[in-house]
Amino acid sequence: MQIDGFQIYPDYLDRSAQTELISSLRGLVAECPFYTPAMPRTGKPMSVRMTNFGPLGWVTDKAGYRYQPCHPETGKPWPAIPAQLLDMWKTLAHYPHPPEACLVNHYTGKARMGMHQDRDEMDFEAPVVSVSLGDTAVFRIGGNSRKDPTRSIKLHSGDVLVMGGPARMNFHGVDRVLPATSTLLNGGGRLNLTLRRVNLPS
| Residue-range domains of the chain with CATH | 6-32+43-131+149-196 (2.60.120.590)
Amino acid, single-letter form, for residue 190 = R
CA-nearest of 178, 140, 107, 180 to 1 is 140
pTM across the whole model: 0.96
Amino acid in position 11: D
- C-alpha to C-alpha distance for 115 and 160, rounded to whole angstroms: 19
Question: So what's the pLDDT on residue 68?
Answer: 98
Could you read off the pLDDT of 132-175 as tens digits, one per residue? 999 999 999 999 999 999 999 999 999 999 999 999 999 999 99
* C-alpha span between 123 and 86 (Å, rounded): 18
Q: What is the pLDDT of residues 75-98, one digit of tens each?
A: 999 999 999 999 999 999 999 999
